[in-house]
Amino acid sequence: MMEGRGAAERSGDNVEFCTMGMFILGGAASFAVIGARLVAGKESSQAVSWIVDVGSDFPPEVLEVINSWDTNCVIREDPGRLTTRAWNGYGPNEKRDFKYLTPKLRLEPEMLSDAQVFSKTFHMVCSSSRCISIVQTILRRREELRQAGKAPSSEHAMKRPVFVWEPVPDLCTPEEQEQFLAANQVVDVVSPNELELGMMFGHTGWSEETDYGMDIVKKILDSGIGPDGNGHLVIRAGKDGSYSYSRAQRVWLPAYHQPSASESSPVVDPTGAGNSFLGALTQGMVGADRGPARIIDSVLAESTTWQKAVKAGSKHDHILAALIFATVAASFVVEQIGVPHISTSSDGRELWNETEFTERVRLYTQRLYRTFEESPQKHFQIKIN
């Protein structure tokens, strides 16, 4: 049985984010949606679209949580199967072990509604070969709908969407390297974490401080990311923040929560932080005219370092703001086991873990402003090709 398809159709051409991650209790899609939803805000919550497969054992309280986000969620019910569940475990250096506890039900691009197919952005968590297949299928479906006169009238329907890809950890192996480089060429952003990237190239991890670490980056950029080669490699490095590389520049942003000798750490559980980082990054690539982006523009208006970096960002000039959103979104996810708590203040403001997303964006950006001016080279290196 299928329900909820109408929600995606009613939204017309308003879908800005769609994840191809399957819904897992304790898994990637829900955390990616949280990230996108934080950035979209209450006003644009319906622009965040996804599919949730509900099995016979689906907990009603989870559905309540999902409904509280007010996203454009397509619910598909099948009482003949169990909901996909998984287990996460962490070893030294945040090395993650992951296994499915019930049979998985994969999402295929053919399952997307017409409105979802015309999303402005797509988030994927999958193997290299599946990444290529998803991108090709979505682009083909868009073209078929255009030719049939079924495309939305908005300008973005004629443009190529933004594809953000998160490689699955168990296929980050040297044997997959060639296929990995091929998949990079069809997406706009590829984002392994530092352990996965190292393993892909036969090392235990990746570090910017090592020669081999920079050789890996060079090899990926030389091979090309995106159809024109100017996409971004975003390396998620947990407590050390994130590194973003393109042929135009290198960017490092610290994590939101910094260790403090005087205070206990607010970090409780890193599960889902990487997924939410990428959900926020994906949504952030198309939200340049909204409140959170305006806050960044306002705080950093006088920063010549920031202005130069934005100018060097080439066609993906929203990537820098999107990286800030991503960093802030991850900060909410690590503060508890499970997803952050949404509520409404007495004066109608949307709160997550009792604070506004936009307020954290402001605080983080103000911290960045100070360090940008003190040590710009630490954060940005603009490459002259």
pLDDT of residue 326: 98
- Range of 265's domain? 5-382
DSSP string covering 336-353: SSSSPPEEE-TTS-EEET
Structure tokens at 369: 């402003």
The half-sphere exposure of 374 on its side-chain side, counting CA atoms within 13 A, is 6
pLDDT of residue 310: 86
pLDDT of residue 10: 42
- C-alpha to C-alpha distances, 204 to 88, 184, 194, 200, 238, nearest whole angstrom: 20, 22, 9, 9, 16
Provide the H-helix boundaries in 148-285: 177-184, 194-200, 211-223, 273-284
Total count of domains within the chain: 1
pLDDT of residue 312: 79
> For the CA atoms of the chain, what is the radius of gyration?
20
What is the separation of C-alpha 324 from the centre of its chain, rounded to a whole number of angstroms? 12
Q: Point out the residues of the chain with pLDDT beneath 50.
A: 1-12, 87, 101, 384-385
pLDDT of residue 3: 41
Cβ neighbours for 377, distance < 8 A, ≥ 6 positions apart: none
Dihedral Cα 184, 256, 329, 66, nearest 10 deg = 130
pLDDT of residue 23: 61
- Per DSSP bridges, beta strands 232-236 and 189-190 are parallel
pLDDT tens track for 214-230: 999 999 999 999 999 99
Q: pTM score, two decimals?
A: 0.90
**Strand, coil or helix: 55:** coil
**Strand, coil or helix: 97:** strand
pLDDT of residue 192: 97
- C-alpha to C-alpha distances, 84 to 25, 89, 162, 178, 188, nearest whole angstrom: 6, 17, 27, 30, 29
Q: CATH number for the domain including 200?
A: 3.40.1190.20
Residues 183, 223 contacting (CB under 8 angstroms)? no
pLDDT of residue 182: 98
Structure tokens at 266: 């607010």
- Give the span between the Cα atoms of 180 and 169, in whole angstroms: 12
DSSP H or E stretch at residue 137 = helix 128-147
Residues 340, 269 contacting (CB under 8 angstroms)? no
Closest by Cα among 9, 324, 327, 13 to 152: 13
Residues 31, 339 contacting (CB under 8 angstroms)? yes
DSSP H or E stretch at residue 329 = helix 319-333
- C-alpha to C-alpha distances, 352 to 50, 275, 286, 355, nearest whole angstrom: 21, 17, 22, 5
pLDDT of residue 298: 94
Closest by Cα among 132, 117, 100 to 13: 117
DSSP state of 100: E
